[in-house]
Chain A
């Protein structure tokens, strides 16, 4: 007789049932599908290969409630978080709920849509693509978002249209009496030869505990181009599990840059799927963590057709007892010839107790492929610190400059000046904490 081991599902860590108040039939269908997946998929443990290094107790030792039951604080004035470049091109979500008053969308080119999903539920692109791009097997987090979301951000850029203003998707989280969950959602549809820059930000306004499970879907039609910056500055007690995915048609370009600064537990599974020949994409990351933070990136660059150029530079700075995990999968299918793929994971360890696990994972079934990958773990060089110090810089300033120099490449890719400045000041704050 075989013993059936009943494993917990995601629902074990959620108070009450997961329901969505969505009115749209399309969204409700996805909610239903999500609930079914949730009920039958066990919650991951360290015995699962993809979760081997991650301590999930900041989720499993808690119970997360609906926002309505959390007694969350009002949002107040958050204008300091607005980007000057995107003053009239901003969607604000407070604890996952769309806030029309704080959002501002003006002066967009004809037929560009930057709005919330609920209000655009009847849009053909929403009906056609929402929930169809996400593709995570045996996952509990994408289904959790599927099951619970009622709204989200929707960006639609029509054919041959360039949006020159960066589009700011600002998710803020307020203090609350109880730990709550939020399921932000973003659908991007770029028609043929369209182009835009998206700044997706997650900011915790206090240091409360919450669970942030965003799903972002990018449908990139032929020749479309997107620059997608993701800045995670969640509360230091939050858990953030992200599922960002993009699917690329011929000649499409998708460049993503994920910056991880906040959260106690950050797990990010970016995936880029090639859907036709000749595409270009980037899956860069910058992680600055300290204290007991955990940041885990499990990415997939999925080359399914010939002629792709892909780039992944994942840079990590670890201090105190923080822990970084990187698992970068590069898939190249049998007939996907002429792939040029670059992957590098560079780690800077500032403390003795910091931990880094890194693993490139290449599965290449084509033969005419250029694929380079590497990982390094290093420390600040004493000789470099002394050199700068001998010129009059304090030890603190010297370290700060060296960490900044390490992070610089990733920061420079932001292309939006205020975001570069923001990241610079974050680096300075990070190195200052080092010297407490």
Chain B
């Protein structure tokens, strides 16, 4: 489904390389986790994949269902089924959640020759989706993330994911800022959305989230590269020994630069 090959990316117009040769393959039905210390490039990877204009791909390619999407705009990627749950969801005063989601849903439907929903049909559809994340319907008429608590913002991202039903989702530190109750609700929601047709890449700092959403593959990111991949046991190892131990081990093996 997703294939990232030797991806290098810099800040647009500047000579700061952040991604330094990322390789990643994600198949339908899989859940991946990317872990790594602060500043290692996890968010940048998610943003580059979703088409953020702040970054420039200088080498390598991103294939989505076999098509090179490296040059596509963010909205075109969204139409193909890519979704990013932001680490820092943006507040947009004056535009309600419902307005955004109806516009987004119908734009994506149009791009894929699917039936658009009229306001009444959409109302029914979206109300049903509120259950996924146990949200109250007042949420719909509030301005996007405006005045939301940290936890509400993260929940709202997963709610949008439920409504837009993407093929591939990057969840960037969705667990941070969530108390244990909210974490359970959000994880339940993600588990309900996950199926054999779609795929999820979770970015996280802690193993906490992975206890609720079991990844099939775990990758470690350091200094702009995925330096090690494995199964769930890799996450446990990291939780026990920390990133420093892993770094040392790699240096000993002559794998890190």
Q: Which residues of A line the B interface, CB within 8 A? A: 381-384, 386-395, 397, 401-402, 404-406, 408-409
By a CB distance below 8 angstroms, the chain A residues around B77 are: 390
B94 touches A397 (CB 8 A): no
- With A388-B95, A392-B75 given, name 20 new contacts (CB 8 A): A383-B90, A384-B92, A386-B52, A387-B92, A388-B104, A389-B75, A390-B50, A390-B51, A390-B52, A390-B74, A390-B75, A391-B100, A391-B101, A392-B105, A392-B108, A392-B111, A393-B103, A395-B75, A397-B103, A405-B92
The 6 A-B residue pairs whose C-beta atoms are closest, nearest first, are A405-B94, A392-B78, A387-B90, A391-B104, A389-B74, A392-B104
**Which B45-78 residues sit within 8 Å CB-CB of chain A?**
50-54, 73-75, 77-78
> Chain B's nearest CB lies how many Å from the CB of A35?
49
Main secondary structure of the interface of A (DSSP, over half): helix
B160 touches A391 (CB 8 A): yes
User: What are 26 A-B pairs at a CB distance below 8 A?
Assistant: A382-B54, A384-B90, A387-B89, A387-B92, A387-B144, A388-B100, A388-B104, A389-B73, A389-B75, A390-B75, A390-B78, A390-B83, A391-B78, A392-B79, A392-B103, A392-B105, A392-B107, A392-B108, A393-B75, A393-B104, A393-B107, A397-B103, A402-B94, A404-B95, A405-B93, A409-B94
- Docked Cα-Cα span, A401 to B78, in Å, equals 18
By a CB distance below 8 angstroms, the chain B residues around A393 are: 75, 100, 103-104, 107
> Chain A's nearest CB lies how many Å from the CB of B57?
16
**Which B74-132 residues sit within 8 Å CB-CB of chain A?**
74-75, 77-79, 83-84, 86, 89-90, 92-95, 99-101, 103-105, 107-108, 111
- Docked Cα-Cα span, A397 to B106, in Å, equals 13
B86 touches A387 (CB 8 A): yes
Closest to B109 in A: A392
B75 touches A402 (CB 8 A): no
By a CB distance below 8 angstroms, the chain B residues around A409 are: 94
By a CB distance below 8 angstroms, the chain A residues around B95 are: 388, 401-402, 404-405
Closest to A409 in B: B94
> Chain B's nearest CB lies how many Å from the CB of A251?
33
By a CB distance below 8 angstroms, the chain A residues around B93 are: 405
By a CB distance below 8 angstroms, the chain B residues around A394 are: 75, 107
By a CB distance below 8 angstroms, the chain A residues around B160 are: 391
By a CB distance below 8 angstroms, the chain B residues around A392 are: 75, 78-79, 103-105, 107-108, 111, 164
Known: A382-B54, A401-B99. A388 touches B92 (CB 8 A): yes
- Docked Cα-Cα span, A175 to B79, in Å, equals 46
- Docked Cα-Cα span, A387 to B108, in Å, equals 15
> Chain B's nearest CB lies how many Å from the CB of A325?
25
> Chain A's nearest CB lies how many Å from the CB of B140?
15
B53 touches A386 (CB 8 A): yes
> Chain B's nearest CB lies how many Å from the CB of A405?
3
By a CB distance below 8 angstroms, the chain A residues around B104 are: 388, 391-393
- Docked Cα-Cα span, A381 to B90, in Å, equals 10
- Docked Cα-Cα span, A384 to B91, in Å, equals 7
- Docked Cα-Cα span, A388 to B74, in Å, equals 9
**Which B174-204 residues sit within 8 Å CB-CB of chain A?**
none
> Chain A's nearest CB lies how many Å from the CB of B91?
8
> Chain A's nearest CB lies how many Å from the CB of B236?
33
By a CB distance below 8 angstroms, the chain A residues around B92 are: 384, 387-388, 402, 405
Closest to A392 in B: B78
By a CB distance below 8 angstroms, the chain A residues around B99 are: 401
> Chain A's nearest CB lies how many Å from the CB of B73?
7
Closest to B79 in A: A392
Closest to A401 in B: B95
By a CB distance below 8 angstroms, the chain A residues around B52 are: 386, 390
By a CB distance below 8 angstroms, the chain B residues around A395 are: 73, 75
- Docked Cα-Cα span, A8 to B139, in Å, equals 61
By a CB distance below 8 angstroms, the chain B residues around A397 are: 103, 107
Closest to B51 in A: A390
By a CB distance below 8 angstroms, the chain B residues around A391 are: 78, 100-101, 104, 160, 164
Closest to A383 in B: B90
By a CB distance below 8 angstroms, the chain B residues around A406 are: 94
- Docked Cα-Cα span, A394 to B103, in Å, equals 10
> Chain A's nearest CB lies how many Å from the CB of B141?
13
Max count, chain B CB within 10 A of own CB: residue among A386, A391, A394, A402 = A391
> Chain B's nearest CB lies how many Å from the CB of A421?
15
- Docked Cα-Cα span, A152 to B8, in Å, equals 70
> Chain A's nearest CB lies how many Å from the CB of B43?
13
> Chain A's nearest CB lies how many Å from the CB of B69?
13
Max count, chain A CB within 10 A of own CB: residue among B51, B92, B101, B104 = B92
> Chain A's nearest CB lies how many Å from the CB of B174?
15
- Docked Cα-Cα span, A402 to B90, in Å, equals 13
By a CB distance below 8 angstroms, the chain A residues around B100 are: 388, 391, 393, 401
By a CB distance below 8 angstroms, the chain A residues around B103 are: 392-393, 397, 401
- Docked Cα-Cα span, A203 to B104, in Å, equals 35
